[in-house]
Amino acid sequence: MFPKLSWKLTFFMVLVSGLTITFAGLLTDRALDRQFADFLETSQLERNQQMLETIKEIYDGSQDRITIERQLELLGQATAAQIIVGERRMGGHMGGHMMNRGPAMMRRQTTDNLILPDGSTALVEIIPSQSPEHALQEAEFRRAVNQSILLAALFSLGAALVLSSFFSWGLTKPLDNLVTMVRKVGAGDLAQRTEVRGQDEFKFLGQEFNQMAANLERMEQMRIKLTNDLAHEFRTPLATVQAYLEGMSDGVIDPTQENFNLVLEETQRLEGLLEGLQELAKLEQPMPKKERVDLGNTLTSLVSPLKILAAEKDISIGLALQEGLVTIGDGDMLVTAFRNLVENAIKYTLPGGRVSINLRAEQDEIVVEISDTGIGIEAQDLPFIFERFYRTDLSRSRQTGGTGIGLTVTAGIIKGHGGTITVVSEPHKGSTFSVRLPKA
């Protein structure tokens, strides 16, 4: 099993923090050590300079040689330093030991010229020394500083561990929840949704996942509904055909021309359903052709043979076409879409009515309006008329041979061409279907 992302994040955060703290501690220790050494040297130089002034005052006092030497010895003992004037070395005791026996640690020395009372010049050299007690105190100070830096580093590292663990857990928890939801959805539980919080990329990912799950659930429901609808749509004509054929075989129903026509109508209905399903299947595939389609010519060629069908019902067809309107797409598929709309308008318009087709341009779009004076559509049915097998009046649809697939195919074709289709209808007054397509 691979390490969890939160563990990896915690490890790398702690690693980076540890390296940062280590380098910072080393640099701080070196800087403190250097500053401390500089401080000691500066202080010692200042003391050396004060000692030089004191030595000059001693020699200016016109005292005898023995007194001067005794004073220099006492000064050396008081300041823990060796004082050399010319070739003579004079020092003092430090903790009961003579300084000329070897200092514990040499500091920066100071050398200067001195005018003696007799007018001669002597060389004064002050060599500071450090007692073992002072060396221990200095080492203790450095040890205390290092311990403080180490404790601060350990505390910082622990805080980094806690904070990085909390941060990585908070960062990966939404991802863990999403992984759990993905597994459930993958197992078939399409109702799962992840809780979306925050304003970061995880929120966007969660929203996209919820949308994907909703689409899968909707598609699954559509698949189940399609299966049920197909079973229902095929069951009725098949049952009718089976009943008539069994009745004729048993002698219960006379094999008359009328009965044969009823059987033929049901088989034609089955054929229409299959053709509709084939049209739906084509919509799932990419558009086979992309060509320039002159919609004026397309509608004119389409309406010509349909005028015969309209004339049989005493229905007039009016055309108002703006010339030169071209879109890009599959001409055959667009013919299928507009034929469905015009045939429906004729089919559901009562004798003596009228079907109007209007083609015009609006900015960058081409608008095709197909209106009729038919029976119209109830308001509660309008949102569903483009769904598969939806019919507002089953008995009427069966009389007219409708399958409930034509408008679904039409809507799919228009959408595949980057357009939209809407409908406005009023019962007993008629309907208007508006198709908008991009202009080439």
For 74-107, write each residue's pLDDT tens digit: 888 787 777 887 744 444 333 333 333 333 344 4
Amino acid at 30: R
Q: What distance in Å separates the CA atoms of residue 257 and residue 135, rounded to the nearest whole number?
A: 129
Q: What distance in Å separates the CA atoms of residue 33 and residue 62, rounded to the nearest whole number?
A: 45
* Torsions phi, psi for 406 (to 5 deg): -55, -50
Q: Which long-range contacts link 137-146 to residues 24+ away (Cβ below 8 Å)? A: 138/40, 141/36, 142/33, 142/36, 145/29, 145/32, 146/29
317-335 pLDDT per residue, tens: 999 999 999 999 989 889 9
Kindly state the DSSP code that residue 129 receives in the 8-state scheme: B
Chain center to CA of 53: 77
Kindly state the greatest CA–CA separation across the chain. Answer: 164
Structural contact between residues 154 and 25, judged by C-beta atoms closer than 8 angstroms: no
What is the model's pTM?
A: 0.50
Neighbours of 83 (CB within 10 A): 23
Q: What distance in Å separates the CA atoms of residue 308 and residue 301, rounded to the nearest whole number?
A: 13
Q: Which of 194, 208, 203 is nearest to 171 (CA)?
A: 203
With cut-offs at 50, 70 and 90, classify the pLDDT of residue 56.
Answer: confident
| For range 295-324, the mean pLDDT | 92
* Stretch among 16-25, 127-136, 237-246, 428-437 having the lowest mean pLDDT: 127-136
**Can you list the domains of the chain with their CATH numbers?**
5-136 (no CATH), 190-285 (1.10.287.130), 286-438 (3.30.565.10)
Q: What distance in Å separates the CA atoms of residue 99 and residue 2, rounded to the nearest whole number?
A: 70
165-182 pLDDT per residue, tens: 777 776 677 777 777 778
pLDDT of residue 92: 38
Average pLDDT score over the chain: 79
